[in-house]
């Protein structure tokens, strides 16, 4: 059987997020990616790096189960990965989540 994840998610009711919960999740994701960008390379940081990626994965799944479109979540994660937090002209990822 070949099921796609998007069609499976439509079978379950979405878990609604309040504005405060959405802000908390997006801040946590930005915080984890800030830490990942500033973590030193080498073998001593690998366990910390994996731990932060696992935490981001849990938060990403929470956003998807809340009904946020997958494209918006991926754009937001790409924005966090590159560190775009320009207040003057936010990128697509910043705009869709913070709007």
The answer to whether residue 74 is domain-embedded is: yes
**pLDDT of res. 87:** 52
Q: Please give the pLDDT value at position 82.
A: 80
Cα(52)–Cα(54) distance, integer angstroms? 5
Q: Each residue of 53-79: b (16+ CB within 10 Å) or e?
A: eeebeebbebbbeeebeeebbebbbeb
Tell me which DSSP letter residue 11 carries: T
Whether residue 10 lies inside any domain: the answer is no
Domain of 26, in residue numbers: 17-98
Note whether residue 7 is domain-resident: no
Given a contact cutoff of 8 angstroms between Cβ atoms, the answer to whether 76 and 92 are in contact is no
Entry pTM? 0.73
* Structural domain includes residue 4: no
**What pLDDT score was predicted for residue 56?**
95
Residue 1 in any domain: the answer is no
Tokens of 87: 């207040």
Q: What is the pLDDT of residue 53?
A: 94
Q: Tens of pLDDT along the chain (99 residues)?
A: 444 455 555 566 777 888 889 889 988 998 999 898 888 877 888 888 999 999 999 999 999 988 888 988 998 888 888 877 555 555 555 655 555
């Amino acid at each position: 059987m070949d099921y796609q994840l998007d069609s499976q998610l439509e079978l379950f009711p979405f878990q609604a997020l309040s504005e405060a919960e959405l802000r908390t999740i997006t801040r946590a994701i930005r915080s984890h990616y800030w830490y990942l960008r500033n973590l030193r390379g080498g073998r001593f940081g690998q366990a910390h790096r994996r731990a932060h990626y696992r935490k981001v994965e849990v938060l990403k799944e929470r956003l998807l189960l809340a009904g946020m479109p997958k494209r918006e979540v991926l754009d937001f994660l790409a924005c966090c990965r590159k560190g775009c937090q320009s207040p003057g002209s936010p990128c697509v990822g910043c705009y869709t989540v913070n709007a």
